[in-house]
């Protein structure tokens, strides 16, 4: 997907999200958090989504629409690999509403990001997937993606970061 183009399939479109999509994105983020059993960790708000994605432009988002209604989204951002020596794209979320799955919408979203990565001469396209999410794992395996089983993801939350700062002072 070139930066200024759309993918069209009958009544389905993948397009870059715009600020007026913030509400739909936030609703789907809540759905994703519920699906992943992480709703208790959701700190985002519609206003934060609007601010970070569309005003500060920290990340990019795509919207999947069917018959004019948002049925999925993807949020991604630029990364960099010192080993490859080039930028990459990291997919934070790729979500399709449950009733719209297995219709090719997720594949279209994923393909759009992959096309962007290729057009931008990225060295990598990366993402994380919960180890119990078998449908997603099977989908990603079909793309030819390799699991990075030798890597462990570490995280400090904003509370952890504050505690870390206090311990250094």
Please identify which of the residues 35, 66, 140, 154 carries the catalytic annotation.
Answer: 140
Active site residue 140: yes
Looking up tokens 């934060």 gives: 48
Q: Give the angle subtended at the CA of 115 by the CAs of 87 and 109, to the nearest 5°.
A: 110
Instruction: Give dist(CA 169, CA 164) in Å, integer.
Output: 9
Q: Determine phi and psi for 84, rounding to 5 degrees.
A: -85, -30
Structure-block tokens of residue 165: 């700062």
Catalytic residues: 140
């Amino acid at each position: 997907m070139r930066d200024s183009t759309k993918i069209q399939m009958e009544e389905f479109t993948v397009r870059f999200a715009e600020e007026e999509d913030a509400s739909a994105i936030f609703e789907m983020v809540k759905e994703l958090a519920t699906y992943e059993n992480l709703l208790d960790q959701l700190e985002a708000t519609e206003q934060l989504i609007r601010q970070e994605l569309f005003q500060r432009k920290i990340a990019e988002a795509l919207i999947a629409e069917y018959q004019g209604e948002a049925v999925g989204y993807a949020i991604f951002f630029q990364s960099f690999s010192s080993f490859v020596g080039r930028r990459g794209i990291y997919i934070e979320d790729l979500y399709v509403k449950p009733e719209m799955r297995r219709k090719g919408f997720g594949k279209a979203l994923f393909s759009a990001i992959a096309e962007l990565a290729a057009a931008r001469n990225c060295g990598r396209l990366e993402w994380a997937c919960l180890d119990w999410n078998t449908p997603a794992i099977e989908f990603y395996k079909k793309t030819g993606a390799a699991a990075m089983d030798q890597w462990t993801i570490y995280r400090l939350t904003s509370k952890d970061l504050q505690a870390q700062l206090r311990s250094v002072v």
